Structure 1
Amino acid sequence: MEASALDRAQRGDAEAFRELTQPHERELLLHCYRMLGSLADAEDLLQDTLVAAWQGLPGFERRASLRTWLYRIATNRCLNALRDGRRRPREPVPPFPPPAPTRRGEVTWLQPYPDALLDGLPASAPGPEARLELKESVGLAFVAALQRMPPRQAATLILRDVLGYSGAETAELLGTTETAVKGALQRARAATPSRPAGSPEDEVVSRFADAFTRGDVEAVVALLTDDVWLSMPPAPHEYHGREAVREFLARSFRHAAGRGLTLTRADANGQPAFVADLDGPAGIIVLTPRGDLLAAIARFHLPPKWARSLSAYGNRSAAGTKPGRDGSA
């Protein structure tokens, strides 16, 4: 069936081309997201990949699988985009005077990836060389670490440890040598965060949602690890430790008081997440549990269209997250 569809597609049959590529689109989108860290950019690069594949299909010699050929195109399109210079988001103007940050983050273009887009993908990578499971390979810490690496180093790690291509296959995909792949892989693995320990996250996530919507600073802080990080892409402000996070939350909650803050569960990056609504969609909050506490809170300040889109992916409302208009539970 595939050979017949491929024959027709190479003769210019657009429907046959769609039949061939549609089953791979979701995994290619995720691949572009890992490379770029931005869902918006990944969607653009997926379309570029499909256009390039359609234009190049007559010359496809079938020496590799169609899937591998598509990954080659997607990887090179992403590398070209990174080499040409990524558009960095404009730093937003905060709605209230924030405290001095612990540091200014560099990966301000990072965006969350809705778990609903992971539906239908295999729980483990298809390649025999893969080392990372799906949930680990889409986690915020892992994707952020990829953004800090040289692009070809990040591509090597993804192709080898996430997708499971061999050293020889990865070298061919990247147009380099196996020796270069081995060296890049070693450096990339050294820069990759260790896998977080499993946690009984349901209780801590529910307690966070309840405390957050009530604007209870101390109740939220009680759920945090001593070394917690709060980040807010595309704003570069980051806060480290309970005291720094407490100060930021106190100002944030004063700003939101009486405005009917709600949270709707819509998990992202294999992690518990919420769409926040404050007189309209206000962004996405992604949590990183560690044991029975939270080690990181990422508050993504997204345009309303993104908040609505991501909210649509989630269909679970967190218990206790629908307060009254006065902010009470």
Structure 2
Amino acid sequence: MSADTRLEKLGVSGLGEVDAPAFSGLAERHRRELHVHCYRMLGSFEDAEDTVQETFLRAWRRRETFEGRSTFRAWLYRIATNACLDLLAKCRPQPATGGEVRWLQPYPDRLLDELPAGNADDPETVAVARETIELAYLVAVQHLAPRPRAVLILRDVLGWPAKDVAELLGDSVNSVNSALQRARAGLREHLPAERQDWTGGETDTRTRELVRRFTDASIAKDVEGLAAMLRDDVRYSMPPTPGLHVGRDAVVNDWMADGFTELGRLRAVPTCVNRQPAVAFYLWSEQAHAYLPLTIDVLRITGGTIAEIVTFHYDQFPRLGLPERLPMDGTE
């Protein structure tokens, strides 16, 4: 049952007569999709959390302004988009530059699974939903100015008509269409050239095998073996640590050679983040007598090779539902 149908069941034409528990029930049905929308806009899981809370607070305070001219869901999206624009204007007046996004955070697949199914029978719809949550897309979007970014997400991801986007932003339809063209051009500058090069597209078997080899080589600290799995133009970043390494030599020399082989004993847990394969690594601690969280590598795989590695710190493990520690494996 939609939120608008539930409003009818409550016997009210708007939200002015709805009490706080009923309003919360209506709004909470849309929390996950609003959170993902804000995440696309902001690139940060934590900022998206705060912005959804701000969205619900604004919606409650302005509930009497809902007149039913749009759906309740669309009304919440309007409030959420403006809350994102306000946060960007206050905290990030300039978009990302240089191909890296230091505030980027991962999004666990287990939470993405909570999204409404939508039109699951339409391959294009499924592909768009998957592609626009991948890290390559998130990074590219963060390089756009906030308003063109909003236009792009509302038009190309959510499929809103231009006139609805224009009403939300207080612009003309012509201005929205112009902003969309600029945003698409800007997006292409920061995405791999071919669509299949940034969406993975590998069979599950090939992907699993490459991830297994990557995991084994990482645990063995086999730099040559790892290098052989990388594309010539592989990219590596470790937000929030500054620095983007591009090219196999740069990644091997600047990342793998920088203390990598000096690490102690490692264990790994395979997982999925942003609809991409990932590997969480744990480092043995004599003091804790257990393996403790170290880093998580999120992989973009193309043509049987690794095209990009984004490494996140151990502070992301709890959000991703990963174990706090791993026991000794019998070799210690």
Q: TM-score range by the shorter chain?
A: 0.7 to 0.9
Residue aligning to 2:20: 14
- CA deviation string 1:2-50 (max 9, x = no partner): 3234839532512211221111100000000000000011001010001
TM-score by length of 2: 0.82
Name the CA distance, whole Å, in 1 between partners of 2:240 and 2:115: 28
Whether the 8 Å CA contact 2:281–2:294 is kept in 1: the answer is yes
Residue aligning to 2:195: 195
Residue 274 of structure 1 deviates from its aligned partner by 2.2
Residue 131 of structure 1 deviates from its aligned partner by 9.9
Instruction: Count the aligned residue pairs.
Output: 300
Whether the 8 Å CA contact 1:132–1:162 is kept in 2: the answer is no
Name the CA distance, whole Å, in 1 between partners of 2:317 and 2:93: 20
For residue 259 of structure 2, the aligned residue among 241, 252, 257 is 252
Residue aligning to 1:309: 319
Name the CA distance, whole Å, in 2 between partners of 1:227 and 1:123: 35
Does 2:221 correspond to 1:209? no
Residue aligning to 1:226: 232
Change (3 A) 1:225 1:86: same
Name the CA distance, whole Å, in 2 between partners of 1:324 and 1:298: 31
- CA deviation string 1:176-229 (max 9, x = no partner): 111111011111111222523412322111111111122111111111111101
Residue 75 of structure 1 deviates from its aligned partner by 0.2
Whether the 8 Å CA contact 1:130–1:165 is kept in 2: the answer is no
| Identical amino acids, percent of aligned pairs | 44
Name the CA distance, whole Å, in 2 between partners of 1:3 and 1:277: 52
Whether the 8 Å CA contact 1:146–1:154 is kept in 2: the answer is yes
Name the CA distance, whole Å, in 1 between partners of 2:186 and 2:99: 17
Change (3 A) 1:68 1:5: same
Whether the 8 Å CA contact 2:100–2:139 is kept in 1: the answer is no
Name the CA distance, whole Å, in 1 between partners of 2:81 and 2:59: 12
Secondary structure at the aligned position of 1:71 is classed as helix
Residue aligning to 1:91: none
- CA deviation string 1:237-288 (max 9, x = no partner): 22111111112213232231xx232222221111111222224222321100
Change (3 A) 1:250 1:123: farther
Secondary structure at the aligned position of 1:191 is classed as helix
Does 2:179 correspond to 1:180? no
Stretch of structure 1 that moved more, 208-217 or 152-161: 208-217
Unaligned runs of 5+ in 1: 89-102
Q: Which residue identity lines up with residue 298 of structure 1 in the other structure? A: V
For residue 118 of structure 1, the aligned residue among 99, 112, 115 is 112
Residue aligning to 2:289: none
Secondary structure at the aligned position of 2:276 is classed as coil
Stretch of structure 1 that moved more, 184-193 or 69-78: 184-193
Secondary structure at the aligned position of 1:310 is classed as coil
Does 2:311 correspond to 1:299? yes
- CA deviation string 1:113-148 (max 9, x = no partner): 11111113256679x997961110101111111111
Unaligned runs of 5+ in 2: 1-5, 286-291
Residue aligning to 1:135: 130
For residue 109 of structure 1, the aligned residue among 103, 106, 111 is 103
Secondary structure at the aligned position of 1:54 is classed as helix
Whether the 8 Å CA contact 1:27–1:121 is kept in 2: the answer is yes
Whether the 8 Å CA contact 2:235–2:308 is kept in 1: the answer is yes
Matches within 5 A, 1:44-59: 44-59=50-65
Q: Which residue identity lines up with residue 261 of structure 2 in the other structure? A: R
Whether the 8 Å CA contact 2:108–2:319 is kept in 1: the answer is no
Name the CA distance, whole Å, in 2 between partners of 1:233 and 1:20: 36
Name the CA distance, whole Å, in 2 between partners of 1:240 and 1:156: 30
Residue 86 of structure 1 deviates from its aligned partner by 3.4
Q: Which residue identity lines up with residue 251 of structure 1 in the other structure? A: D
Does 2:141 correspond to 1:153? no
**Does 1 or 2 have the higher relative contact order (CA < 8 Å, sep 6+)?**
1
Whether the 8 Å CA contact 1:10–1:57 is kept in 2: the answer is yes
Stretch of structure 1 that moved more, 184-193 or 103-112: 103-112
Matches within 5 A, 1:8-87: 10-86=16-92
Name the CA distance, whole Å, in 2 between partners of 1:184 and 1:252: 45
Whether the 8 Å CA contact 2:119–2:125 is kept in 1: the answer is yes
Residue aligning to 2:288: none
Whether the 8 Å CA contact 1:53–1:70 is kept in 2: the answer is yes
Residue aligning to 1:238: 244
Name the CA distance, whole Å, in 1 between partners of 2:42 and 2:115: 20
Stretch of structure 1 that moved more, 285-294 or 197-206: 197-206
Whether the 8 Å CA contact 1:228–1:296 is kept in 2: the answer is yes
For residue 272 of structure 1, the aligned residue among 272, 277, 289 is 277
